[in-house]
Structure 1
Amino acid sequence: MASKTNGVEEWVRAPPPPGTCLSRFTNAIYNHEENSFLGRTPKRWGIVLTFYLVFYAVLGLMFALCMGGLYLTLEPNRPTYLLEESLIGANPGVASRPLYETAVLKYSVENSSEYQLYVDQLNEFFNYYSSERWYTTQKECRAEDQYGFPDNPCIFVKVNKIIDWKPEYYEASDLPADMPEDLVEHIQGLDPSKQKQVWISCEEEKANDTKLEYPWGRGMPKEYYPYVYGNKEYKSPLVAVRLSHPAHNQNVVIRCRAWAKNIIYNKSLKEPSGYTRFQLYIEGNESGNSTEVHT
């Protein structure tokens, strides 16, 4: 410490203690004169450790209280927020099988290894349905006929599960004006006890003259709704759509729509809802077919 002429004192850094580099290094680790370790005496180390012990104990307690309060707000057997209150919402998505990673499901009728991938995928998918009577009684679009591949492939349309979602069914006497005529005739020809279903209609986006057939029926019966959370036996119903002799060497784009009063249909490709699209490209050697470039 040094003094100025005006009487004000100021602190200055003390010169480093004399000695070799090794001795200064060992003193920095443990100083015998001050009885300090890493620059702190046992008392100061006790103060530091006590502070951090109390700090992290309080922090851990606050975290435990927050998590405890969160878990008190959760239902033990079901999600807290459902339908409109949830992030999923109350408008179910529509999906199809088989899945394909490219933009278009593409295969050659002359190369069985290309379409066998999709047959194997569907075999695995339908293992889940092996105990379902409605599935085992079907005669077409099954593993026995390779799901129609390669000439008449079947696609399977489903409505994604939403907990506690209940379809609002159309009445046969009050069907929407934009519903396809063949589906209207199908519904009105059914017994009234079978008219309450989520209906599926499919159409081509381009006129490739592909005939669409529904060997399993055209709807998903009301017995499958609502889906109750935790029901491990529940299996989503499916509608099989068979493409009868689709055109070769050009894109075949199929759009399948689900029909219920509370399924919102948005035709936009940017924000689609209420439908699914399936793109197929079959390579063949038929001379009369188009050779449109696919993307």
Structure 2
Amino acid sequence: MNDTKEKIDSKQDEMKGGFATFIWNPWKKEFCGRTASSWGKIFVFYVIFYICLAAFWAIMLLIFRSTIDDKQPKWKLADSRIGTNPGLGYRPRPPRERLESTLIRFRRNNQKTFQHWVQDLTTFTNEYSNSNKTGSGGAAHPIDCETSQISADNQFCFFDVRKLGSECTKENSFGYAEGKPCVLIKLNRIFDWKPQTYDPTDYDNPSLPQELRTAMRNTYDQSKGARRYIYITCQGQNPIDKENVGPIKFYPEPGIRDYYFPFRNQDNYKSPFVFAQFTNPSHGLVINVECKAWAKNIKHNLLEREGSVHFELSIE
């Protein structure tokens, strides 16, 4: 019994001695199995290796940066992945926990159910109210294109939210408290894209879709001349939805003026939009809504989200 214990103790002493010797071997002057000279060579190798690696990436980054313009993409329009056909976006967006949802659901006269939708629209429109209209230094200069014309490359047309009227405002809860919700519709930005607008006098052209002709008729004012618009239309997606969606009003107009384009990454630029207000939608069911933008160079593909956008309304 004592012999077995002595053997175990002897084995443990050998293991301890072996590990201690590995950490520092006084006879060979080695630390962790290597001499000071060997450790020095490894250190010098990795210093040189990482210096060369850092220099390589610095050169690659410099070459990469030399091909990029901070103001405009290298590939534009048809040469880019984005292409030349803009999509449509809408607000309000759903909460983060339902980010993939396209359903706008609330209960009339119940603030808790529509508070998120109102807050999201308020946050988005406040960015327009707080934007700088005058510009400074080398920044782009927003101007009122109703009264002036763009005369320099650093100018663009200012989108004034004060002209949207009083229905689709945060003071009016964007119509949600009354069951008349406002939905903001805007074009997605494509650098240097210009709309090829329809002639507004063609509102009686039978070859054009009826919804487009109606929008053109609503914007045409002979006394103001032939204003050019990217027309915006919204309607129920299916026959049953068209029966239940009810009348729709647009603010400030059922279209976006063409002078807001092209977008060229100007400082302080804000995308123009329209509010679609659903003034008398049916309650207690889900209504599928499809909105479209109309110009000669806008094609519609709902599945690819080109030229149109889809969402649902449900008012209880």
Length-normalised TM-score, structure 2: 0.74
Question: Could you say which residue in structure 2 is the equivalent of 1:50?
Answer: 44
Q: Is the CA contact 1:194–1:221 (under 8 Å) kept in the aligned structure 2?
A: no
CA distance in 2, matches of 1:72, 1:104: 45
Paired residue type of 2:107? S
Query: Tell me, which stretches of 5 or more residues in structure 1 are unaligned?
Result: 1-18, 284-295
Provide Cα deviations, 1:114-136, integer angstroms capped at 9, x if missing partner. Answer: 12332232222221222677321
Paired residue type of 2:228? K
Question: Could you say which residue in structure 1 is the equivalent of 2:170?
Answer: 143
Aligned residues: 262
Q: Shift in Å at residue 194 of structure 1?
A: 4.5
Question: Could you say which residue in structure 1 is the equivalent of 2:276?
Answer: 241
Question: Could you say which residue in structure 2 is the equivalent of 1:182?
Answer: 214
The percentage of aligned residue pairs carrying the same residue is 29
Q: Is the CA contact 1:213–1:241 (under 8 Å) kept in the aligned structure 2?
A: yes
Q: Shift in Å at residue 276 of structure 1?
A: 1.1
Matches within 5 A, 1:185-224: 185-190=217-222, 193-205=225-237, 206=241, 207-208=243-244, 210-224=246-260
Matches within 5 A, 1:1-295: 20-100=14-94, 101=98, 102-130=101-129, 134-137=160-163, 138-149=165-176, 150-172=178-200, 177-180=208-211, 181-190=213-222, 193-205=225-237, 206=241, 207-208=243-244, 210-232=246-268, 234-267=269-302, 270-283=303-316
Provide Cα deviations, 1:121-166, integer angstroms capped at 9, x if missing partner. Answer: 2222221222677321323322332222232222121111222221
Paired residue type of 1:99? R
Structure whose residues are more often helix by fraction: 2
My pick for the range that moved more, 192-201 or 57-66, is 192-201
Q: Secondary structure at the match of 2:310?
A: strand
Q: Secondary structure at the match of 1:202?
A: strand
Q: Is the CA contact 2:182–2:278 (under 8 Å) kept in the aligned structure 1?
A: yes
My pick for the range that moved more, 166-175 or 211-220, is 166-175
CA distance in 1, matches of 2:110, 2:37: 82
Moved over 4 A (4+): 173-176, 187-194
CA 1:122 to 1:194, structure 2 compared with 1: closer, same or farther past 3 Å? farther
CA distance in 1, matches of 2:106, 2:272: 27
CA distance in 1, matches of 2:45, 2:276: 70
Paired residue type of 1:235? K
Paired residue type of 1:177? L
My pick for the range that moved more, 199-208 or 52-61, is 52-61
CA 1:276 to 1:239, structure 2 compared with 1: closer, same or farther past 3 Å? same
CA distance in 1, matches of 2:70, 2:107: 51
My pick for the range that moved more, 142-151 or 239-248, is 142-151
CA 1:135 to 1:103, structure 2 compared with 1: closer, same or farther past 3 Å? closer
Question: Could you say which residue in structure 2 is the equivalent of 1:290?
Answer: none
CA distance in 2, matches of 1:117, 1:61: 50
CA distance in 1, matches of 2:102, 2:273: 23
Query: Tell me, which stretches of 5 or more residues in structure 2 are unaligned?
Result: 1-12, 131-157
Paired residue type of 1:145? N
CA 1:104 to 1:216, structure 2 compared with 1: closer, same or farther past 3 Å? same
CA distance in 2, matches of 1:262, 1:108: 39
Q: Shift in Å at residue 103 of structure 1?
A: 4.2
Q: Shift in Å at residue 193 of structure 1?
A: 4.6
CA distance in 1, matches of 2:56, 2:14: 50
Length-normalised TM-score, structure 1: 0.79
CA 1:183 to 1:54, structure 2 compared with 1: closer, same or farther past 3 Å? same
